[in-house]
């Protein structure tokens, strides 16, 4: 199925739900992002029931002469329910979508390294047309665009990599993608992706060091879940450490630290990202957490710089995905001070006061 012509087909019915022969075929489909409650539903056993709402699409064919091919139809005009399983979660502005929908929407896909291993396992040596009835299967479509930079920049060394180490990882990542998804298009090109990864690693090194110092200063406060009676005290201590750190607003490690303080036990996804209970918690542990969060910074920057492009970051890490989806980030804008975005606090910062909300939002 060529990604450039991947379509949804709507067939009309009469009042008795009997097909009436009318049909409209859509391509370049835009789906409404799914939210936090939908994400929690993926944790149940068996196929995941999801209701996907179509916001727009381009008419490929239609028996109505008033809808000519090439016309974009906008508006919440279609919803369908699927029972495919969801192996990987695709992060998008404002929420998430099953990863394979990138093939339906023409989005460029990035993977974290663990998810790249999942993709390798899913497709290596599998016969043409084989399917596990999972959304991931759609990624095995001709022309799917994959950006290897996300996998390369993550790194594997628990420290800032050298240029030579970035080049070596870039070679392995591109080789894996070309072997298991040979019909995909890797963008940027080989040398561009290497140089881009080296540049990003160098650019983010100083910021990661400042963040690591902040994180190491607050981890002792977060090692155990914070008792209700101490939440105000610990929250204030985290804010004080952040104010001394010279880090910019919208720093994700700051958001994660605050969420560790106030989110409930069963849904404290920030603890799953920062892993403050690790003992002893040292510089390598902090670097690992920040390397994960840097992926979200890279994703946010891409949304701000290329607002008209569709970009999806795929992960198997539920807590990591829930942290993004719980934040519901949207309206990304690039400024001299970095990327800013709007967000909500309902899931990550439940029950906080107005003063505490000002601590978060600035």
pLDDT reported for residue 2: 39
Q: Angle, to 10 degrees, between the axis of helix 231-243 and the axis of helix 354-361?
A: 30
pLDDT reported for residue 205: 65
pLDDT reported for residue 164: 84
How does pLDDT run along the chain (362 residues), one tens digit per residue?
A: 333 445 677 777 777 777 777 788 887 788 899 999 999 988 877 667 788 888 888 888 888 777 888 888 886 656 667 777 788 899 999 999 998 888 778 889 999 888 988 888 888 766 555 556 778 888 888 888 999 888 887 777 677 777 888 888 888 888 999 998 888 898 877 677 667 666 666 666 667 888 999 999 999 999 999 999 999 999 999 999 999 998 887 899 999 999 999 999 889 999 999 999 988 999 999 999 998 998 998 899 889 988 988 999 999 999 999 999 999 999 999 887 778 899 988 899 999 999 999 999 87
Q: What DSSP assignment string belongs to 137-148?
A: GGGSSTT-EE-T
pLDDT reported for residue 1: 33
Beta strand segments in 40-111, E = 50-62, 72-82, 89-92, 95-98, 108-111
Residue with tokens 């906080």: 352
pLDDT reported for residue 5: 47
Cβ atoms within 10 Å of 304's Cβ, excluding its own? 17
Q: Please choose, from the candidates 174, 194, 150, the residue with its C-alpha nearest in 3D space to the C-alpha of residue 292.
A: 150
Instruction: Provide the token pair at 244.
Output: 């001394």
CA distance 105 to 229: 48
**At residue 240, what are phi and psi to the nearest 5 degrees?**
-60, -45
Asked whether the CA dihedral 181, 184, 187, 192 is positive or negative, the reply is: positive
pLDDT reported for residue 206: 66
SS3 186: strand
Cβ contacts of residue 357 below 8 Å, gap of 6+? Answer: 345, 349
Residue with tokens 């835009």: 30
């Amino acid at each position: 199925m060529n990604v450039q012509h991947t379509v949804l087909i709507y067939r009309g019915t009469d009042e008795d739900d009997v097909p009436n022969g009318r049909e409209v075929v859509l391509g370049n489909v835009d789906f409404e992002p799914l939210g936090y409650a939908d994400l929690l539903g993926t944790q149940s056993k068996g196929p995941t029931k999801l209701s996907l709402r179509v916001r727009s699409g381009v008419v490929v064919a239609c028996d109505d002469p008033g809808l000519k091919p090439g016309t974009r139809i906008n508006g919440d005009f279609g919803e369908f329910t699927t029972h495919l399983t969801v192996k990987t979660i695709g992060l998008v502005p404002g929420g998430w979508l099953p990863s394979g929908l990138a093939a339906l929407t023409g989005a460029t896909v990035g993977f974290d390294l663990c998810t790249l291993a999942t993709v390798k396992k899913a497709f290596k040596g599998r016969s043409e047309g084989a399917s596990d009835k999972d959304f991931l299967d759609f990624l095995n479509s001709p022309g799917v665009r994959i950006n290897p930079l996300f996998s390369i920049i993550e790194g594997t060394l628990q420290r800032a990599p050298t240029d030579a180490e970035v080049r070596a990882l870039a070679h392995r990542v591109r080789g894996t993608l070309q072997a298991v998804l040979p019909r995909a298009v890797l963008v940027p090109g080989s040398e561009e992706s290497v140089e881009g990864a080296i540049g990003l690693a160098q650019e983010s090194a100083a910021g990661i060091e400042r963040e690591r110092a902040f994180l190491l200063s607050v981890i002792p406060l977060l090692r155990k879940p914070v008792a209700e009676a101490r939440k105000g005290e610990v929250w204030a201590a985290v804010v004080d450490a952040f104010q001394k750190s010279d880090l910019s607003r919208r720093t994700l490690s700051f958001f994660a630290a605050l969420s560790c303080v106030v989110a409930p036990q069963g849904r404290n996804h920030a603890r799953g990202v920062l892993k403050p209970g690790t003992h002893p918690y040292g510089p390598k542990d902090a670097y690992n957490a920040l390397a994960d969060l840097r992926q979200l910074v890279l994703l946010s920057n891409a949304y701000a710089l290329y607002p008209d492009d569709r970009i999806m970051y795929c992960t198997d890490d539920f807590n990591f995905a829930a942290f993004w989806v719980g934040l519901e980030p949207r309206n990304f804008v690039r400024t001299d001070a970095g990327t800013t975005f709007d967000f909500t606090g309902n899931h990550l910062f439940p029950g906080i006061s107005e003063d505490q909300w000002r601590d978060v939002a600035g």
